[in-house]
Amino acid sequence: MIFHQIATERGCQSYFVACEHACTAIIIDPEETQIDRYLGLAAQEGLRIHYVLDTHTHADHFSGTIEIAEELDVPVIMHRDSPAPYVDLRVDDGEKINLGRLSLNILHTPGHTADSICVQVEDRVFTGDTLLIGGCGRSDLPSGDPDQLYDSLFNKLLLLDPATRVYPAHIYNNREHSTLEEEAAKNPRLQLKERDEFVAQMRRLTLREPDHLSEALRTNLTGGKTVEQLISAAARNVPFMSLEEVLRRVKSEDSEVMLLDVRERDAFERGHIPGATHIPRGQLELRVNEALPDPTKRIVVYCEVGRVSTLATATLREMGFSRAVALDKGMQQWVENGYPVESEA
Q: ∠ at Cα 333 (239, 279), nearest 5°? A: 60
- Beta carbon of residue 22, minimum distance to Fe ion (angstroms, whole number): 30
Residues that bind Fe ion (CB under 5 A): 129
Pick the closer one to Fe ion by CB: 135 or 295: 135
Pick the closer one to Fe ion by CB: 31 or 129: 129
Pick the closer one to Fe ion by CB: 110 or 330: 110
Pick the closer one to Fe ion by CB: 129 or 328: 129
- Beta carbon of residue 151, minimum distance to Fe ion (angstroms, whole number): 18
247 in Cβ contact with 339 (< 8 Å): yes
298 in Cβ contact with 258 (< 8 Å): yes
Residues 6+ apart with CB under 8 A from 198: 146, 149, 150, 154, 189, 192
- Beta carbon of residue 158, minimum distance to Fe ion (angstroms, whole number): 20
- Beta carbon of residue 63, minimum distance to Fe ion (angstroms, whole number): 10
3-state secondary structure 237-255: CCCEECHHHHHHHHHCCCC
Pick the closer one to Fe ion by CB: 113 or 313: 113
| DSSP letters for 103-153 | EEEEEE-TTSSTT-EEEEETTEEEEETTEETTEE--S-STT--HHHHHHHH
Mapping DSSP to helix (H, G, I), strand (E, B) and coil, where does residue 277 land? strand
- Beta carbon of residue 70, minimum distance to Fe ion (angstroms, whole number): 23
**In whole angstroms, what is the distance from residue 167 CA to residue 145 CA?**
22
- Beta carbon of residue 264, minimum distance to Fe ion (angstroms, whole number): 38
Residue nearest to Fe ion (CB): 129
Mapping DSSP to helix (H, G, I), strand (E, B) and coil, where does residue 165 land? strand
Pick the closer one to Fe ion by CB: 171 or 299: 171
- Beta carbon of residue 55, minimum distance to Fe ion (angstroms, whole number): 8
Closest CA to 25 of 7, 6, 41: 41
Q: Phi and psi dihedrals of 314, rounded to 5?
A: -60, -40
Pick the closer one to Fe ion by CB: 111 or 223: 111
**In whole angstroms, what is the distance from residue 111 CA to residue 115 CA?**
8
Mapping DSSP to helix (H, G, I), strand (E, B) and coil, where does residue 160 land? coil
- Beta carbon of residue 181, minimum distance to Fe ion (angstroms, whole number): 24
Pick the closer one to Fe ion by CB: 223 or 330: 223
